[in-house]
């Protein structure tokens, strides 16, 4: 199975070979679970969203266009699943980004000096809260670019928007984030 392309595996699934879908799941699990972990608050929520995304993809396989990228098609399903999950999570429980910066300014400022693996559990939780406070479309596009490493064309296909829209959204998302963090120092940023 490993020698088949994604398109060939999809054709085999549609012909009745479910083992081909298992290979697609194995092949794309790392990136899908990575996206879900970046977008959602808990490991369980990420696992559930990733499972739901693969199930939805299986049920929608007949609508997949053979000339498209299976990876970006799957990413779109997973991204929409994450956005749905975030909307279902209780609203109003998360602090706004402004409030987080006010309450934890020093710690947020110090985060850039602390590499990931050496962070305390409190710092990991603070990072999670800062990301949760971002508008969901900003968080999604920044996650796709910074964490998943998608290029602009792949982001456009995943978010079903134009290249110009990707450029504009990334610019706004980054400048919004940096402007909020600049309140901490008043001058230089993080």
Partner 1 sequence: MDHREASEALWEYRDGELPARRRGEVEEHLSACAECRGELAAWEAAAKAFFASSPAPSPFETEAFAARAMARVGRGRRLAALRWLVPVLGAGLAVALALPGLRAVPDPAQAMILGQKGGGRFWSFLDQAPPSTREQALAFVEGQR
Q: Which residues are at the interface with partner 1 (CB under 8 A)?
A: 18, 21-22, 25-26, 29-30, 33-34, 37-38, 47, 50-51, 54-55, 58-59, 111-112, 114, 116, 127, 130-131, 142-143, 145-148, 151-152, 167, 170-171, 174, 177-178, 181-182, 188-190
- Minimum CB distance to partner 1, residue 187 (Å): 10
Which backbone phi and psi does 153 adopt, to 5 degrees?
Answer: -65, -40
Is the four-CA dihedral 85, 48, 32, 65 of positive or negative sign? negative
- Minimum CB distance to partner 1, residue 96 (Å): 16
**What distances in angstroms separate CA 48 from CA 26, 28, 53, 187, one per listed residue?**
16, 15, 9, 42
- Minimum CB distance to partner 1, residue 124 (Å): 10
- Minimum CB distance to partner 1, residue 51 (Å): 6
Nearer to partner 1, 67 or 127 (CB): 127
Buried residues in 13-40 as b, exposed as e (16+ CB within 10 A):
beeeeeebbebbeebbeebbbbbbbbbb
Nearer to partner 1, 38 or 67 (CB): 38
Residue 96 to residue 92: CA distance in whole angstroms: 9
- Minimum CB distance to partner 1, residue 25 (Å): 4
Nearer to partner 1, 41 or 51 (CB): 51
Residues shown for the chain? 190
């Amino acid at each position: 199975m490993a020698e088949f392309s994604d398109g060939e595996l999809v054709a085999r699934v549609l012909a009745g070979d479910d083992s081909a879908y298992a290979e697609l799941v194995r092949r794309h699990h790392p990136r899908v679970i990575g996206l879900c972990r970046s977008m959602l608050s808990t490991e369980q929520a990420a696992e559930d969203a990733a499972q739901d995304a693969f199930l939805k993809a299986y049920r929608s396989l007949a609508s997949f266009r053979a000339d498209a990228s299976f990876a970006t098609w799957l990413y779109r399903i997973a991204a929409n699943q994450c956005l749905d999950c975030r909307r279902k999570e209780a609203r109003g429980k998360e602090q706004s980004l402004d409030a987080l910066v006010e309450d934890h300014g020093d710690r947020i400022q110090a985060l850039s000096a602390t590499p990931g693996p050496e962070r305390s559990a409190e710092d990991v939780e603070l990072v999670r809260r800062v990301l949760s406070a971002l508008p969901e479309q900003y968080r999604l596009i920044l996650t796709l670019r910074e964490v998943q490493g998608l290029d602009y064309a792949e982001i456009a296909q995943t978010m079903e928007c134009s290249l110009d829209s990707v450029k504009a959204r990334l610019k706004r998302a980054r400048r919004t984030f940096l402007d909020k963090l600049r309140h901490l120092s008043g001058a230089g940023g993080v």
